[in-house]
Amino acid sequence: MGGGDGSLSLPRWVGWAWLVPGAFLLAFLAYPLVALGARILDGLGQSALVPVGTGQVAALAAAQALASTALALAVGLPMANVVSRYRFRGRALAQALVTIPFVLPTVVVALAFRSLVGPGIPQGLFLVVVAHAYVNLAVVARIVGAQWAQHDDRHEAVARTLGAIRWTAFRTVTLPALVPSIAASAAVVFVFSFSSLGIVLLLGGGSTRTLESQVLRQTSVLLDFPGAAATAAIQLVVVSAILLGGAALSRRSPRRVMRPIRLRRPTSRSGTIGVRVTSAGIAVLVLAPVLALAVDSLRSRGSWSLAWWQAIGSVDAGTTRIGSPLSALGTSISYALITAAIAAVVGGLAAVAVLGRGPTRWIALVAVVPLGVSAATVGLGTLLAYGRPPLDLRATGLLVPLAHALVAVPLVVAVVAPALRGTDDRRLAVAACLGARPTRAFLTAYGPVLRIVMLASAALAGAVSLGEFGAASFLARATNPTVPLQIVRLLGRPGEESYGVAAALAMVLVAITLVLVLLVDRLGTSRQPAAVGTP
Amino acid sequence: MTSRLEAIDLAIGHGTVLADGLSLSVAPAEIVAIVGPSGSGKSTLLASLAGVVPALGGHVLVDGIDVTAWPVHRRRIGMIFQEPLLFPHLDVGDNVAYGLRRLGQNRREARAQALEALAWVGLDGYADRPVERLSGGQAQRVALARALAPRPAVLLLDEPFSALDAELRQRLAADVADLLRREATAAVHVTHDLDEAAAMADRVLRMPPEPGQPLARVPR
């Protein structure tokens, strides 16, 4: 697959496909980062460019991120074990459930946790850590699960016959084999928690902060742009170092032949109980916050009511005085559509460039870089580059979707590139031999797969845009908030109504996100038959 | 190391019975081969003797002690699989030292004894090698050294040579038989190759074609 010499018959434009993603990344990643750097240089010479206390915030954020990572691993590893290795009734559902927290917008997760714990547990570090672990369960379960499913159980059997008790066999044989994937997932969870914004703002209670929330505060409250730029730069360095470290550790895995995954049934009674308890635990853990949120959206003054659902359409319940909370949904959906279109084109072309020859195929690797740049860095950089004269694009309403597209492009590449690489390129040659011109041959060979993965990745990009909070909080106009911004603003106002309306709005976002993710999942499944007939 | 292994009325299978009423007695230092076609339950029988797969009925005895309810790690029954299954994160020496460490030896003692075990299988000087740099035959020799180093009561061999080419298979089978005899280790060797079985074993048994029938002796 993909091993033939099909590049000979690729249309010439594939060789130029990198230009669009290249220009996009230059304009909306490199230039904003340069603008950020320039702003730091502007501030040089001023006293205390890096605001006092930044080191302390960074240290506390690192401790918080470590705790979040440890908790996500502690809960996620048993889930990875059960979901990726065992056959049991409801396994597909359990797999889908594990993914839900990751796809939910962070603002929604934060609100759901507020609903779940009520006023009983004060906001602060504990809640932030729990919510971060919740969001990242899927990261651990998916990344570690994929490697665990490949792990040959007989290694433990050998260890047992050599005198190892079950725990020793796990500790000395299984765990070392999983180190690469544990390191990779831990790096992702750490970075996510270290640069978290929505959850920290809504659950941190003011005492728990990250550099990300500092950047927002410096920009929007203190109007200290050089300081914010310096803080963002520090975060960028830390995050890049962690991601590179994680990548280096995860590469230290011995070469291994991929084996077909064989799901097993638990062989002992304790194993059966373990699988049942874990799968039930997944359902309870994942659904409890979402159900609490749903209940809060339906409870008014101590009784069941649709009052908040009715209020989301009323201007009085809004925060802008010109639109209802629901009008934010219109804004979010239009941003999501533009994001989906831009990200699909840019990411799709970056993925297509991989098929070509020469150095330009590395554009797909470059296109993944935005993953390591935090939302606030993207937001602030874009604001500095395009949010003021001579080039002020704020009035166009394009800044938010452009920033969202930057965040979504790596995901599009991650979906499309493997699908294209996995397509048998000898079909190109077959089509060419049958008289198809290069572009027609390309469409014949890759068109069916492209159609599906482009749609899936566009839906994914749309879902990302709908839930994105960090960049939007820098770039959206005050009169035109997105849904996550609207939710945060509602929560900033006292009163049961604001909370109830925020909960109802959040549930709308939950529903739309789940539909989009289901669509992506369905499209992913429908792509399977394309593999039939490929060697 | 002379131990006796007995199986009495053993029922085996993964959930459903694959074979039952299996009885077997391996005398100290005796090598018994079991032959049979694929799917006849040879590997499951070995896994059940070792305790890797729970037996569905019957008893396993080592030196007259009923170990059926014992966990795998207490039985002192070593096992070698079709693939070497070396631990990829450990070098050759630490792979061989693994079982010795479980006996409570410190790393230095275990490592020293592992060198000795590597010498048994003709791999002196290989201790510091990463396992992915071994050939198939070398890897299987390391697996053998690893299984023998902690001096198991009995060694079970589950078609350990089947992935090797014919010449290497023959040579390695002869070496293993020599080594088992030299160390006086009782062994059960499962294979579908009757010639290999006859060359290595003192006695050859055939898996029954139907559940409920006994293991039958193959005349030499």
Residue A79: which pLDDT band, with cuts at 50, 70 and 90? Answer: very high
Instruction: List CB contacts (< 8 A) between A264 and chain B.
Output: none
Looking at the structure, tell me whether residues A2 and A131 fall in a common domain. Answer: no
pLDDT at A135 over 90: yes
| Rounded Cα distance, B142 and A514, in Å | 52
Mean pLDDT of A155-162: 94
User: Do the chains contact at B52 and A179, CB–CB below 8 Å?
Assistant: no
pLDDT at A527 over 70: no
How near does any CA of chain A get to the CA of B124, in Å?
22
Instruction: List CB contacts (< 8 A) between A177 and chain B.
Output: 88-89
User: Do the chains contact at A164 and B102, CB–CB below 8 Å?
Assistant: yes
Per-residue pLDDT of B153-180, as tens digits, reads 999 999 998 877 888 888 888 888 988 8
Domain edge (last residue) among A278, A299, A320: A299
Range(s) of the domain holding residue A315: 1-43+307-535
Residue A153: which pLDDT band, with cuts at 50, 70 and 90? Answer: confident
pLDDT at A349 over 80: yes
Domain edge (last residue) among A269, A299, A329: A299
Domain edge (last residue) among A279, A299, A319: A299
Whether the ipTM is more than 0.95: the answer is no
* Pairing between β-strand A391-392 and β-strand A387-388 as defined by DSSP bridges: antiparallel
| B13: contact with A, CB 8 A cutoff | no
Mean pLDDT of A459-471: 91
* B91, closest residue in chain A (CA to CA): A254
Positions in chain B short of pLDDT 50: none
Looking at the structure, tell me whether residues A92 and A39 fall in a common domain. Answer: no
User: Do the chains contact at B98 and A160, CB–CB below 8 Å?
Assistant: no
Residue A312: which pLDDT band, with cuts at 50, 70 and 90? Answer: confident
Instruction: List CB contacts (< 8 A) between A158 and chain B.
Output: 79, 81, 85, 143, 146
Looking at the structure, tell me whether residues A393 and A527 fall in a common domain. Answer: yes
| B152: contact with A, CB 8 A cutoff | yes
Instruction: List CB contacts (< 8 A) between B130 and chain A.
Output: 254
- Report the predicted TM-score, pTM, of the whole model to 2 decimal places: 0.81
Instruction: List CB contacts (< 8 A) between A256 and chain B.
Output: 88
Instruction: List CB contacts (< 8 A) between A157 and chain B.
Output: 47, 50, 52, 72, 79, 81
pLDDT at A523 over 90: no
% of residues, chain A, pLDDT over 90: 31
How near does any CA of chain A get to the CA of B205, in Å?
24
- CATH assignment of the domain containing A481: 1.10.3720.10
Instruction: List CB contacts (< 8 A) between A166 and chain B.
Output: 71
How near does any CA of chain A get to the CA of B5, in Å?
15
Looking at the structure, tell me whether residues A36 and A55 fall in a common domain. Answer: no
* B103, closest residue in chain A (CA to CA): A163
User: Do the chains contact at B79 and A254, CB–CB below 8 Å?
Assistant: no
Looking at the structure, tell me whether residues A202 and A319 fall in a common domain. Answer: no
Looking at the structure, tell me whether residues A202 and A268 fall in a common domain. Answer: yes
Looking at the structure, tell me whether residues A136 and A32 fall in a common domain. Answer: no
pLDDT at residue number A4: 40
pLDDT at A146 over 90: no
Candidate from A152-166, A235-249, A331-345, A449-463 with smallest mean pLDDT: A235-249
Looking at the structure, tell me whether residues A318 and A182 fall in a common domain. Answer: no
pLDDT at residue number A3: 40
pLDDT at residue number A393: 84
Instruction: Give the residue with greater pLDDT, B167 vs A276.
Output: A276
Residue A531: which pLDDT band, with cuts at 50, 70 and 90? Answer: very low
Q: How far are the Cα atoms of A288, A352, B97, B158, B214 from residue B8, in angstroms, in the given order? A: 52, 64, 33, 20, 11
pLDDT at A405 over 70: yes
Number of domains in chain A: 2
Looking at the structure, tell me whether residues A210 and A238 fall in a common domain. Answer: yes
* B131, closest residue in chain A (CA to CA): A254
Looking at the structure, tell me whether residues A108 and A254 fall in a common domain. Answer: yes
Looking at the structure, tell me whether residues A24 and A98 fall in a common domain. Answer: no
Looking at the structure, tell me whether residues A342 and A274 fall in a common domain. Answer: no
